[in-house]
Structures are given as structure tokens and as C-alpha cells.
Structure 1
């Protein structure tokens, strides 16, 4: 596997700040899997979810309100080797920045979709949606990387519990790689979404 495509850059991050780690949380089991750039599966997941994409597609009011189909997996994209003073008291390079959250689900007509939060550390309404390539989805699904097809959480309180579970998984990830979880707000927004505040960083104690 070739890992992150050459020249790729994550939305809102400085050039070269490309995530090199993906934390996958399967909704029907809660199990987690961590993939690093260069490992089997990372490149396939990157091609499927397109984490550099910032454009959004229109969706129904129900989806906007949280009543979208059950989520199959949640992927938290992370960047390792960051941090240090003044964000943390650790040596530079010992932290993990969680840059983006992608949630994969399948619509009633069989179309795979992604619901993306470009700033997981900020409570706002800047959510992006986009359809995926069905052939790519089917190819990746056959690998087992996307978990089972059982129903997972969908909306309302279930969705809130799922967000909490994903958050704990991210904290576990940071501990597992020996770093502090550093949730970094995207430095810029492109093409969609209301104006935002200045960039900021927030240290989350584990």
C-alpha cells in the first residue's frame, strides 16, 4: 500500500499536515481498529472517504436534524508527531492531532454517504455531506474493513451516545500511541459553511 496520496492535504490544515493515522470505530460492535499510513487498508480507506474533500452536497432536512441512516463506521483522522510547547509540556512530536471525523452510512437506495465534521473539537453546525463511489465502496466493503452490515445507532440520543463512544475511542488511541490527544481546530474553511473564529488548539487531558 502506498499510504496517503502524494501531495494530498487535509481540509483546513497547513500544507504538508496530512493525517497519517485513522481510527476506525465499528458501530455495531464498538470495536476499534487503528491504521497508519503505509499499512494495508489505509490507502483504500483514504480513497473511499476522500478526507481531503471540503465541498458539501444538499441533503434532506431529516438528515440535517440527525435522522440519517445508521452509521456503519466512524473514522477519526489523526496526525502524529505534533504538539509541544505551548500547547503541551511534552517534547515536540509526542502528540496526536485529531483533524477530522467521517461517518459512513448507506442510504435507502444503496448509495454510500459520508457525514464529515472538519473540526471534531468544536461544537458547531459546520457539517459536510458527500456521496461516495459505489464501486469503490463495494470493493472496500469486501475486505471487511467497514465492519458488518448490522444496524448501528441512527439519530437522537443514540447518536449522542455514539459521539461519546467515538470520543473515548480517540482518547484510547492517543494513549495507545504514547501521546496526548490534541484536538486542533481547522485553520480555514473552504467552499461551504459560515464564517468561523480564528484557529485555535485545545489540549484534552487523558
Structure 2
């Protein structure tokens, strides 16, 4: 990690095709950033499970080398075939102690790349996956609800808690009544990701 962020985490088939066409051939092939952790194939840089979209195993792989009974022989790391005559770009599970060139990357994601969302690395760039109720290239905008629809009861009060800003997504307004009165709504009024209140004011 002296010069790079981590080993590559491949997101989809497009990135697999890019690496397969761009990298030179090596007889030992290349390590990519996947390891078997608690029997789950996991991207080591993000600690996220391998998704079906990104999966690109070679035929009959992963097979753990068919040596599961031999202690220390488990194949818990993954190599990628580059410029191979058959199954180029496909993956094979390998013993982690084998020496190979590791495919590393410099992260495009910064701490402020996505304001209200998760930054996902892509080829030479990144994209933002916004949390519900947020939108924009950097997830910088938040859906808002009409504040005029929050009205104070004649014989009561209202207290609103704001998460992403005044009367924005996930704002919750709780109503209360003076002694001798009863609320006509069952629960708090919440601003949904569609920009509508979940309840009407009592």
C-alpha cells in the first residue's frame, strides 16, 4: 500500500473486459482483491461479499484445489487469467502463498466524494450510490416535504426532528395533546423518500 490504495475490487463485467484487454500476459497470471473469509468470497479492500454481477469464475471453479482435507492447502485467494488461450479474464481460486503480480489501484473515491451516499470505484473514476431520499451526482441534494402540511393542533403541540435539514427526508414530527384531548393520527408524521408525509396533521 506504499504506492496504491488496495488490490482491485471488480464491480462488473465491463471492468473485467477492460483489465483483460489492457494487461500483458503472464504465465502466473494476476492476483485480484478477493479472499475467502469465513467461507464467503469477499473483496478485501471494501470488505463486501462478491456479488453475482461481478462473479467471473472459470469452468468448475472455485474448487479449492480438490484438497480440502489437507491442512494449509485451502485455496482462499483468487487469480485472474490474462491473455490465456482459453477462458481469458476468468478467475481461479489459488493458494494465497503462491507468488504472483497483484493488481492494485489508486482510489478515485475521497472522503467527500459523495455527501449522502456511498462512493463506488469504477474504471479510472467513481460513482455515488445515494442513500434513500438523496440525489445528485454527489448525492448532495435531499428530498423535502411541504412544511406547510405540518400544522400545530389548536389544543396541542408538535415537535419535529430533522436529520438531513429542515423538513427534508426522514424528518419526524410528533404531535401531543393537552390534557383531556386525544390525537386523531396513530403515529408520528415522517417525510418519506418520495417527498410526501406518511401521515396528515391531526
TM-score tier after normalising by the smaller chain length: under 0.3
TM-score computed with the length of structure 2 as normaliser:
0.22
Which structure would you say has the larger RCO, counting Cα contacts within 8 Å and 6 or more residues apart? 1
TM-score computed with the length of structure 1 as normaliser:
0.22
